[in-house]
Amino acid sequence: MTATLHTAGHLNTMGLPVVSFTHIEEAAASAARAIRNVALFAVAPFIGLVYALAMPLVGLGMLVWIGASAIAHSAATRTALTSVRNVALFVASPLIGLVYALALPLVGIVLIAQTAYQAYRVRVLVE
């Protein structure tokens, strides 16, 4: 069961007139709109300043983006980047080899231990 309150223009059960609060609600909404408008009016110069200060940075960013995109799609850039990658790998190859030389014996020991454990489990389950 739901209870609803229908009081607009009616008398309540005690015979007293119903007081309408709609004018108070409208005044509160109007005051809230006015406060919001005053706040936006006060903050608007600062928002404009932020836009004015950010615009050169946005323009520079777009210029860099468009330039980098044009450079990235040229064949000379691909050749240059391939050469740089090859030189970097050539310089890094001794370090990569050292990491492999240090890590692979440990990997081998782990693989041997895993194989031994699997063989042990099969033998234990069979017996």
What is the per-residue pLDDT for 122?
87
What is the per-residue pLDDT for 73?
87
pLDDT band at 55 (very low <50, low <70, confident <90, very high): very high
pLDDT over threshold 70, residue 105: yes
Average confidence score pLDDT of the chain: 86
pLDDT over threshold 70, residue 3: no
* pTM assigned to the model: 0.36
Amino acid at 78: R
Round to whole Å and give the CA distance between 45 and 38.
13
Q: What is the mean pLDDT of residues 27-43?
A: 91
